Structure 1
Amino acid sequence: MSSEDDELRRLRADWETLGAADPLWAVYVKDGVRGDRWDVTEFLATGSREIAESWSQHARATGLEPSPDAVVLDFGCGVGRLSSALAARTRHVVGVDISEPMLRRSRDVVPEDVVARFSPVLSSSPVLPLRDATVDLVYTSLVLQHMPAELAIGYVGEFLRVLRPGGTALVQVADQPDTSIKGRAFRFLPPGLYGWLQRRVLGYPAPMRMQQLTLEQVEQVVSASGGQVLDHWDDPSYGGHWHYRRILIRRDA
Structure 2
Amino acid sequence: MPSNRLDKDGKPRKNVLQSGLFASALYLEGEGTVQLTISAHVRPYILNFSEKLKGGNFSQLDVDLVLALRSKYGQAMYQQLTQWRFHADKGHTYELDELKTLLGVIDKDGFDKYGKWGEFDAKVLKPAQKDLEKTDLQFTYEPLPKPRRGRGHKVTHVKFSLSVDDDRNFPPGFVIGEEHTTLFDRLVKQFGLRKDQAQTVLLNFGVKEINKRLYEIHLLINDKKVQNVGAYTAKVFGAD
TM-score over 0.5 (shorter chain): no
